[in-house]
Chains A and B, each alone.
Chain A
Amino acid sequence: MSLALKARKVGLRLLEAIPTVIGILVVCFLLTRALPGDPAAYFAGPMADAESIEQVRRNLGLDQPLPVQFVNYVTDLLTGNLGMAISTGQPVVAELATRLPASLELTLGALLLSFLIAVPLGVMAATRPNTWVDHLCRFLVTAGVSLPTFFTGLALMYIFYYLLGWAPAPMGRIDMMYLPPETVTGFYTIDTLIAGDWETFRAAIAQMALPLITLALFTLAPIARMTRAAMLQTLGSEFVRTARAAGLNGRRVLVTYAFRNALLPVVTTLGMVFSFLLGANVLVEKVFAWPGIGSFAVEALVVSDYAAVQGFVLSMALLFVLLNLLIDVIYTLIDPRVGEES
């Protein structure tokens, strides 16, 4: 497939996302308005009188009819203004800019870690069924599925911080001794490397270790299972048998033919796991005082902070559109059939 064709395909996929995003905007706007509770009364404070509640309502623009509010919202959105998150006192854009990288760093890190462990584990379990590797795989999968993340998080914290004292105090992204690096990507691990500050890098990694392992345990299960199942299937398929019959060596059969084909469902699973992870993040963020997007969204929902909730949903929607696009692109790269179609 030529580059131009590929670019066109990607462009078309992006266009397809536009109606989805618009739909999400409308539904999200209506849903937040349908939430019970009166944000004006809440934010006016516990002792406010009716007059000051009205004043807050005017400040928030909530005294306008719904269509007007929606038009205002969309106009603001087009200028890149997502409004103020009243629950945290910051502009939503600023909140997303600091919190989204925090969550993504954790999520992507956990995904990478579990991918690095789960895929070899799954492959080994599939090639050596009913050996100790297979049993280990089964054990990890069962444990990962059945242990809720907040429990794993607390248990790890109890052992490695409370009892052994190996892990640093679970108080956010970086120990209090260090200052966060200059923001380039918002990922502390990458930013510290850019700044060449190894010590802060180590501190950031140390702080990340427990939440990362917690999340990786949770994502390990579906990836390992899917790898194992897909490998078993491809290893039993006709083209592998043909390859073996043709006298190709075992390694080549395993890697080039079986593994490459087995990766397709694994990549699909990765996309799904990523969305679970963002959900599971909320609990892990709470336990490790991680200033991420999940805990921000939950707090905002609880107090009916419209702008914050809308900003969160919008950013998540865009993230998913991008993610699906990315997965499609990866597909075309690794699926031997896609390349040949053209």
Chain B
Amino acid sequence: MDRRHFLKGAASLGLGASLLPYLKVLPASAATSETAVVVFGGTINSLDIHRSGTNRDSYQVAINCYDRLVTFGTKTLDDGSLSYDYDNVQPELAESWEISGDGTVMTFFLRKGATFWDGKPVTAHDVKWSFDRSVSLGGFPTVQMKAGRLESPEQFEVVDEHTFRITLPFSSKLALPDLATPIPVVINSEVARAHATEADPWATEYLHRNPAGSGAYKVARWDAGQQLVYERNEDWKGGALPGYQRVILREVPSQATRRALLERGSITAAHNIPNKDAKELASRPDIQVVSSPIENCIYCLCPNLDFEPFKDKRVRQAIAWAVPYERIFEQAAYGLGVPTWGGSKTVDDIAWPRRSPYSTNLDKARALLAETGYKDGFTVPLSFNLSHADWAEPAALLIQQSLAQIGIEVTIEKIPGANWRTIALVEKRLPLHLENFGGWLNTPDYYFYWAYIKGNLFNSSNYNNAEMAKLVDDTLDMAMDHPQYAPNVKRMIELAQEDVPRIPLWQPTLNVALTNGANGYQFWFHRQMDIRSLKPA
């Protein structure tokens, strides 16, 4: 987009010539009631969530610029902040839906009158093409679709222009919520097809730079490595019209700079600020800090069962008793988050994450260790991902000190972010490490599926338990009101607490700071900024 077009676009929005001089009066703050400026430390590397290589930060384009069939409702948390509501699926492009008695056929009735940005009506053909694309391109989109039991194009059927049908191989409680994740977006298939080639049938090259959606915001400008400018789609039908006409998303790599911008009020919001800043800024009257506990996510210390001493359950338990939870929570989490230690031994409910029965008790740890063949201790490297050094480094040092007191000598190994995945999650060869898995779909069994089943990606501890495997297999697709559901999950929690292949440290928070009176921020499981709910003062 060139300069003239950009300005013309602004003029058609009724800003035009009046916009620039007005803003020049306030050079220190570009943030106004029409324009929001959001800063973050990452970078957007694609506008197409299905493309291979698209990073996590880029998912927000799928969220803000595209619609899905369904979305989640909003709930108010105890501290007054807003969060998405996993238990409340709401219409987005689909006006309503029906699920057959056996739960295997889902029929969606599309909103009539919903159009793509170019004015073309959204039809079931677009939905079908987009869903086919997400299960065909491979990589993360395909894996995430599979989580909702959506694996092949044959499952998707166009009934008529405004009716779309999904057939599942078996009923699954994960199918509907999975449609509300950022992946199953609806793309303007006519535009995309026009730009598809023999070598690139899904138009990944075109959609990489040119989104074609029906969502609340369009991309007005993308200067890779610098900024993304969103402009509101005045004809959006998927929900209430967003508060800001234009949102400028700027990439500011230095945390100190982001904080200075925030304190000076030059911006509207800073996404994902560190706990230290969140704590220090919370007391300022002009800045609102929202710290939302990340659902279904726990920072864990993981002893690897392939490592000889950790094969003995008692050694793992001894470590769980030796972790200095309180101090880690104070010094690594700055007191922000939800404690996950010092709970009762009996599992009465299926709340997750929850307090484990362990707390810091070095005598108990020594006694347990003395029962094993390792009463004189051993040496073990403790690894963490350098990209998570802000919390992992202080936590690792505290664990090192504490384990030294029960005779376990810990050496600390820092692993660069690019290598972490291969070493820790694929090869699973780190004897003791810090891990941060969180599940998008918010059920405990989904967490156990990824982190406690042999071979699954986030089971970096190589935990292998036949009973756990059977329980998860039985429960993963089971409806949450099924009589067997709660007992199964309770048993999984009991096993996890008894075998401790993952020692929970705390449930982390996602911190967002808002200033200039902006409000309406809402936490989402995907941890990206959904700018649609932001409102000016």
Per DSSP, are chain B's interface residues mostly helix, strand or loop, or mixed? mixed
A55 at the interface (CB under 8 A from B): yes
Cβ–Cβ contact A289 & B251, under 8 A: yes
A-B contacts, CB under 8 A, total: 154
How far is A105 from B411 in the complex, measured between Cα atoms in Å?
A: 45
Nearest chain A CB to B426 CB, angstrom units: 6
Q: List 29 A-B contacts (CB under 8 A).
A: A38-B422, A44-B53, A47-B143, A52-B142, A52-B143, A56-B52, A59-B52, A86-B53, A88-B43, A154-B256, A157-B260, A168-B28, A169-B261, A169-B266, A170-B257, A173-B226, A176-B37, A177-B27, A286-B253, A287-B256, A287-B257, A288-B254, A289-B226, A289-B250, A289-B252, A289-B253, A291-B223, A296-B225, A303-B417
Cβ–Cβ contact B144 & A89, under 8 A: no
Minimal Cβ-Cβ distance residue in B for A302:
B418
Cβ–Cβ contact A43 & B46, under 8 A: no
- Interface residue total, chain B, C-beta cutoff 8 A: 57
Nearest chain A CB to B223 CB, angstrom units: 8
Interface string of A158-195 (1 = CB under 8 A from B): 10011001001111110111011010000000000000
The residue from B52, B54, B225, B252 contacting A95, defined by CB atoms under 8 A apart: B225
Known contacts A47-B140, A176-B37; A158 and B250 CB within 8 A of each other: no
The residue from A44, A98, A162, A171 contacting B139, defined by CB atoms under 8 A apart: A44
The residue from B3, B23, B45, B426 contacting A177, defined by CB atoms under 8 A apart: B23
B315 at the interface (CB under 8 A from A): no
Cβ–Cβ contact A43 & B416, under 8 A: no
Nearest chain A CB to B477 CB, angstrom units: 18
Cβ–Cβ contact A171 & B252, under 8 A: yes
Kindly list chain B residues whose C-beta atoms are within 8 Å of the C-beta of A43. Answer: 52-53
How far is A302 from B45 in the complex, measured between Cα atoms in Å?
A: 15
B6 at the interface (CB under 8 A from A): yes
Kindly list chain A residues whose C-beta atoms are within 8 Å of the C-beta of B142. Answer: 52
How far is A99 from B44 in the complex, measured between Cα atoms in Å?
A: 16
Interface string of B218-259 (1 = CB under 8 A from A): 000001111100000000000000000000101111101100
Kindly list chain B residues whose C-beta atoms are within 8 Å of the C-beta of A117. Answer: none
Extra 20 A-B pairs, beta carbons < 8 Å, given A154-B256, A302-B418: A41-B421, A41-B422, A42-B418, A45-B54, A46-B421, A52-B52, A55-B52, A87-B43, A89-B51, A162-B263, A162-B264, A169-B30, A170-B260, A172-B250, A177-B27, A287-B256, A289-B226, A289-B250, A289-B253, A299-B43
Cβ–Cβ contact A36 & B264, under 8 A: no
How far is A39 from B51 in the complex, measured between Cα atoms in Å?
A: 15
Cβ–Cβ contact B421 & A89, under 8 A: no
Kindly list chain A residues whose C-beta atoms are within 8 Å of the C-beta of B24. Answer: 177
Kindly list chain B residues whose C-beta atoms are within 8 Å of the C-beta of A296. Answer: 225
How far is A158 from B20 in the complex, measured between Cα atoms in Å?
A: 28
The residue from A89, A177, A287, A291 contacting B53, defined by CB atoms under 8 A apart: A89
Interface centre among A47, A51, A55, A291 (most CB of B within 10 A): A47
Kindly list chain B residues whose C-beta atoms are within 8 Å of the C-beta of A295. Answer: 253
How far is A18 from B106 in the complex, measured between Cα atoms in Å?
A: 65
Which A86-106 residues have a C-beta within 8 angstroms of B? Answer: 86-90, 95, 98-99
Known contacts A45-B139, A162-B263, A177-B23; A171 and B225 CB within 8 A of each other: no
Cβ–Cβ contact A175 & B226, under 8 A: no
Kindly list chain B residues whose C-beta atoms are within 8 Å of the C-beta of A161. Answer: 260, 264
Kindly list chain B residues whose C-beta atoms are within 8 Å of the C-beta of A177. Answer: 20, 23-24, 27, 30
Minimal Cβ-Cβ distance residue in B for A47:
B143
Kindly list chain A residues whose C-beta atoms are within 8 Å of the C-beta of B419. Answer: 36-38
Interface string of A38-80 (1 = CB under 8 A from B): 1101111111110110011001000000000000000000000
Cβ–Cβ contact B37 & A55, under 8 A: no
Nearest chain A CB to B428 CB, angstrom units: 13
A219 at the interface (CB under 8 A from B): no
A304 at the interface (CB under 8 A from B): yes
Known contacts A55-B138, A55-B139, A172-B227; A41 and B45 CB within 8 A of each other: no
How far is A176 from B416 in the complex, measured between Cα atoms in Å?
A: 34
Kindly list chain A residues whose C-beta atoms are within 8 Å of the C-beta of B46. Answer: 89
Cβ–Cβ contact A172 & B226, under 8 A: yes
Minimal Cβ-Cβ distance residue in B for A181:
B3
Kindly list chain B residues whose C-beta atoms are within 8 Å of the C-beta of A49. Answer: 143, 457
Kindly list chain A residues whose C-beta atoms are within 8 Å of the C-beta of B144. Answer: 47
Kindly list chain A residues whose C-beta atoms are within 8 Å of the C-beta of B276. Answer: none
Nearest chain B CB to A211 CB, angstrom units: 11
Minimal Cβ-Cβ distance residue in B for A44:
B139
Cβ–Cβ contact A175 & B54, under 8 A: no
How far is A338 from B56 in the complex, measured between Cα atoms in Å?
A: 58
The residue from A46, A51, A59 contacting B140, defined by CB atoms under 8 A apart: A46
Known contacts A48-B143, A162-B264; A179 and B3 CB within 8 A of each other: yes
B364 at the interface (CB under 8 A from A): no
Cβ–Cβ contact B27 & A288, under 8 A: no
Kindly list chain B residues whose C-beta atoms are within 8 Å of the C-beta of A176. Answer: 30, 37, 227, 248, 250
Minimal Cβ-Cβ distance residue in B for A171:
B250
How far is A38 from B423 in the complex, measured between Cα atoms in Å?
A: 10
How far is A289 from B52 in the complex, measured between Cα atoms in Å?
A: 27
Known contacts A46-B140, A95-B225; A171 and B53 CB within 8 A of each other: no
Which B414-451 residues have a C-beta within 8 angstroms of A? Answer: 416-419, 421-422, 426
Minimal Cβ-Cβ distance residue in A for B21:
A177
